[in-house]
């Protein structure tokens, strides 16, 4: 599980850097400032959770079950939260109206909160 956590964290981190550079250079010329800020929010949260996954993969005193739950919560949360933000921020560039998927953004955010909560409560119950 640790290999999966760390490799997914590294992949998320790499993609966050690529998307951040894409936003700063290519999208800066196309998107209004407000949409660019929204896009950067998705990048920032993706990077936070890339580091979170790496951290979880390096913690020795978490059960495999807890690590697996955190992994799936973060994986799903980043895809729904950051992924939907990327699509919503670049909505003006496509003919499809991504506003119809806007409801998944808070669901993704909730999954990320649950992942952090799981870590928090797991450490609270440790002696």
pLDDT tens, position by position, 6-16: 999 999 999 99
pLDDT at 96 exceeding the cut of 80: no
Round to the nearest angstrom and report the end-to-end CA distance of the chain. Answer: 24
Name the more confident of 60 and 5: 5
Q: What is the pLDDT of residue 112?
A: 98
Query: CA-to-CA distance for 46 and 27, rounded, in angstroms?
Result: 18
Radius of gyration, alpha carbons of the chain: 16
Q: Give me the mean pLDDT over the 21-34 stretch.
A: 87
Instruction: Give the confidence band of 21 by pLDDT, cuts at 50, 70, 90.
Output: very high
pLDDT tens, position by position, 47-94: 999 999 999 999 988 999 999 999 999 999 999 999 999 988 888 887
Name the more confident of 117 and 92: 117
Q: Give me the mean pLDDT over the 24-42 stretch.
A: 89
Place of tokens 């936003």: 23
Q: What is the pLDDT of residue 102?
A: 84
Sequence spans of domains, the chain: 2-125
């Amino acid at each position: 599980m640790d290999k999966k956590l760390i490799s997914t964290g590294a992949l998320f981190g790499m993609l966050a850097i690529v998307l951040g550079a894409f936003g700063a250079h290519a999208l800066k010329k196309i998107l209004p400032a407000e949409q660019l800020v929204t896009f950067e929010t998705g990048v920032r949260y993706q990077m936070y959770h890339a580091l979170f996954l790496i951290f979880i993969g390096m913690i020795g005193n978490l059960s495999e079950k807890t690590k697996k739950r955190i992994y799936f919560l973060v994986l799903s949360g980043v895809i729904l939260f950051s992924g939907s933000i990327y699509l919503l921020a670049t909505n003006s560039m496509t003919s499809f109206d991504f506003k119809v998927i806007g409801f998944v953004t808070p669901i993704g955010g909730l999954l990320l909160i649950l992942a952090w909560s799981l870590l928090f409560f797991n450490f609270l119950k440790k002696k």
